Structure 1
Amino acid sequence: MKRKILFIALISLVRFSSVPVFAQGLCNVGGGGFDLLPRAEGCAPLTVNINTTINASSLAYAQEYDGMTDSPTLIRNAKQFTYRGAGTFTILQSANVGGTEVYHCEKVKVYENATPHTEYTSCGGGKIKVVMTKNYVLDAYDQVGIDWGDGSGEHIWNQGESLEIEHIYTNTSVNPTLKVRGIYTSNSACKGGYQWPLTISFQQPLLKNIQIKSVEMTGNGRLLVIYEGLSGISTDVMYSTDGTNYQIGGTKTSGGTQTSNFNLNAAQAYQIKLASKDLCGGKLDSDFVTSMAVKGSSADEKNEISWNKYADNTDFDSYALMRDGIVLQTFDDINTTSFSDEDVQCGDNYEYYIVAKTKTITSTSAPVTVKTTLSSPKAIDQAFVNVVSDGLIEVAATIPGSGTKTNYDLVVERSENGGIFKKVNTLYGEATYQDFDVKVNDSGYCYRLIYQNACGQRAPASEPICSILLKNQSPLLTWNTEKPFLDDIDSYTIIRTGAAGSNDSRNVKLASTFYPDLTKLSDLSFTFQVRADSKNGNYQSFSNSIIYKRDTDIFAPDAFSPNDDGYNDTFEVKAAMFKTFKMSVVNRWGEVIFHSDDITKGWNGMIKGKPAPVGSYIWRIEIVNNLDQTVKKNGTFVLLK
């Protein structure tokens, strides 16, 4: 091995020693002289002027001397040279001074000024991709400046960065001019190369226009996704249960309205998005859409409906809860995810689904069917009774959970003057009963209501509700205090209407008596009525009306027969509108044989325990009326057997 190396070295020595000394380069000979004006370094094309600094009889120059040959091609009396390509060049001067050949060399540095080779691809919409070719031109520069032509400023590319650069134009109605130039940062002789213009022509496909329009989950778990596609653009329809890990449900490349469907779990909510590839291979995801899932259950004759919250509130508009194809309720709050439907009837089936709406899309859940059930029906808790006229009382109730349904039975029970309750009627699909078999001025009536729902379940009887019976118990008006509605009584109001047109109403709070002061009024008679108002403000109930006269009416029979036949056995005087009452019965000799201060206690035809004889008798009455006036009247009657 060592011998081989020595042999090679000897051969090399022999070879190079055969070249004359001046063949090492004429630049080393010296003796000549010239300058390059205005500079010896700059951007191509570079022109240099030769300024000779010696006195010579002949001058010649080689423009691109290789630094080695001793017989270069010379140009006599050359004044300037122009270099159009980049590189480092040597100018050789050959001159004769006093019969001696002299030489001199000057270096010329020319920098690249060509534009780096650049191409672009329109990706769709306003997006383009610029690709620069790596070659000697690009390698010559420190940087490359790209002016996009849209006013966004010049992009500076540095050596070592990716040769692919993307840019998005916001305005695609005009074709901008892109300009590319090389930039030097390491010298001051040449700042950069030519700026080459490139007109951009946009392709129309715009990935951001590929958006979901609607999402619908069917009852069998098939998800239908409707979206606007672009022809030739590959679009994946993707779904995820957690918003992070997505799977592909389908892929299409067609334009226009597209429908993609695939099987999923109808009870599960998903996030759906579109993933599209542009003409440059770039990917863009659409805004995601949340699929909706609804759940339903039933208890206590109401249906509980719930659904998932829509994941994005940016463009959220509302939820629409649908029942049997009709909007049941809408909700503007994105956080509202449940609803209690009480407008249902036991035993009926209802189909619910939820529709989430944003400004641009709709997302519809699969339907769920709920059968309304009831563990045990509740007693009626909304009802009232009202005296309509002298011979009519109206009872009205709200059946729990009935809504607009009528498949129930309502049993009405009645009690008169505190007696036992007896069934008076059964209503079918109705909740208002009119009772004509009443005497509202003589008796008070209480009612209980019992309903049977469509499931065949019978509710407990409601609490009693009672009509208001207004009585004239001179000098007071009185009434009963049993509740006329299934709510607490807030107050009573006395309503007075005079025969001559005067009227007045007075809130007496929870009192059950009223003293009518008529001393300052001129009406001959008045009508009084009581109104009860409920605490919740939902009910009013009116009593019977009574006529209250200023003067006392007195009626005395002209005969009676105390024979124990049960008819007309007692002599009684009837009177109204008085404060006090006194009555005496006198025989033909002027003896008082009977006296009473109680109008309800008449003479039974007995004198000291023995039957009075048949014949004529005199009655005498003394009454103090409502104006505190004493009224005295008398008359005769006959005792018959």
Structure 2
Amino acid sequence: MPVLPVSNLSKIFWLCILLQLVISKNVPAQTNPCPDKFKAYHANGAEVNTFCVGEKIRFKSCSANAQPDKEYYDTNKNDGLAFPDTVKSVTYSAPGTYTVTQLINTGLPGNNQFERTFTVLDTPPPTLTGFACAFYKVNFRITDTHYDYYRVNFGDGTELRVLPGKDTTYQYQKAGLFQLTVKGIFRNALCITENSLEIPPLNEMKIPHLTSIAINNYSKESGKLEIKAELQGGYSYLLEQAPVNSNNFREVKRINSALGDNSRTIIVDQIDTRTVYQYRLQVSDSCRTHTNVFSNILTTQPLGVTTQNKTNQLTWPLYPSAAVRNYQIYRDAQLIKTLPALITSFVDEVVTCGQQYCYRLEVVLQNNQSSFSNDTCQKVIATKPPKAGLLVASYNLQNQVELRLQPAAQETAQDANWQKKMNNRPFMNLGSTKQNTFLDEAKFKENEPPCYQATYTDPCGLISALSNQACPTMLNGTFNSAENRVNLRWSAYIGFTLVPQYTVEVSDEATGQLLGSFAVGSNTTFIDSKLNTASQILAYRIKVTSANPGEISYSNKVVIAQNFSAFIPTAFSPNNDGLNDVFELKGKFIQTLNLKIYNRWGQIIFESKNPNEGWNGKINGQDAPVGTYVYSFTAQDLNGNLIQRKGSVTLIK
């Protein structure tokens, strides 16, 4: 039936009024059973006054004499009135407040258009979160607040009304994929909206494992521990503490692990680390379940250090477990000692007075477990003066005495004080140095052999006992030109505990190249009868080697110059036969030469300043005549000595 035009509606309206007046004269007065004129019904036939988005709602007059084909409805007054004769129901797609208008012909006089206002509610899926816990438990929370109340179906035949915004725990009877269905319900509407959540069960529970415990800050109230552990994803853990040899554990921290098995470093601070405690983990979960599943136990290991005379004394309590393999001591992060399981102290003697050292103790347990002590540092002090050092005196190549002081074993010299005496006079002070070496720059005196002694001050400010007296070897040498040999004699070295061994060394004075070395044992004399001809000027020294501890000293240097020598031929034959073709000066140790050849009239016919160049018997490129010629030369040896000679030479063919 088409929508009626407004003019026809007016006619119908007045006909209805007249008809109602006629009927009212014949109908007795009674209570109106339907004051709202029409009602709304849910799809299941129930009367409703509040709707939900997506519900199909049917409208129907409640008048006794209503005729379905004569009632019409506009379902939303806000978009204008229209009364299609086919519209008796509606499905709202948006929430809000809607005014529904009824147009009806009841055959009775009076108004035939009525209005009612209805609320349409939104129906989003209710939201919830949840997670699995130990022993088939789930913890969930309805995070939705849109509905008036909620019911949760757990998929095992149980359904419960649950308050939103509150953690709720439910116990299943067996493991599996937990399926929760939440229903959002309005009190004044019949619609119910559902949403589901699948919660996978936790993995099978594993026993946690503590791998190490370390004291990072040693304090009564603000101590700090670092604990390394192997944990299991999805579970929580309770770190528990108890006194040694006690089972009275109490919770000190809760730890949540990430997904998957992982290693965790657990930091616990603001606790007492000066007292020895034992620690363990109890497996828990997000539901705070106490499972009574515990890890292994690790105990803290404090370490104390005190200083004695140039030593540091380390002490610690015995670790309360039979699983100890050994104790390892670290000094300045370097392992210095491994001790058996029942040892509780150690004396570090390899230390230097005045220096600070930091120590840490590791208790090595079975199954690759460890307990690390606190780091503790101590400066070494001393109460006894250091022992005397070993002094070595040696001449350098400039015949100056070099002193070298070696402190006693396990001692360190902060500075050194040097003393000297000549012949048998008293010792005099040479001064102090920050080094363990000293150079005596006094001029060498062959007839005044020196002796030295020294002390050193350790880092604690204590002065050592006097060192040994050190008197370097004094060498004297002479050259016997008639026999072409060098005679050497020297004084014994004073200062080594055992008799030293002597070695004669001869070198080229100009280059310092070693030309020969002769071991002479404990003798103090030597004759060099086979002089080295590689150099005219020879330098001799005595090398002194101690048998123990292998120290070396040198005597002063003695320089010997060998004789200059020259051979001058009386005749030569420049006939190119390879024999005596050149007149030249032959000798040893010639450094410079000026050779001149004269003819019978005193004219210079040849001159050379090269020691290796002679006269080949030619004058201006032509063969000189046979005869006698005069020569003269001036030569200088390597020692600076001059030789001048004149003579004659015969040129023959």
Tell me if TM exceeds 0.5: no
Q: What TM-score, normalized to structure 2?
A: 0.44
Q: What TM-score, normalized to structure 1?
A: 0.45
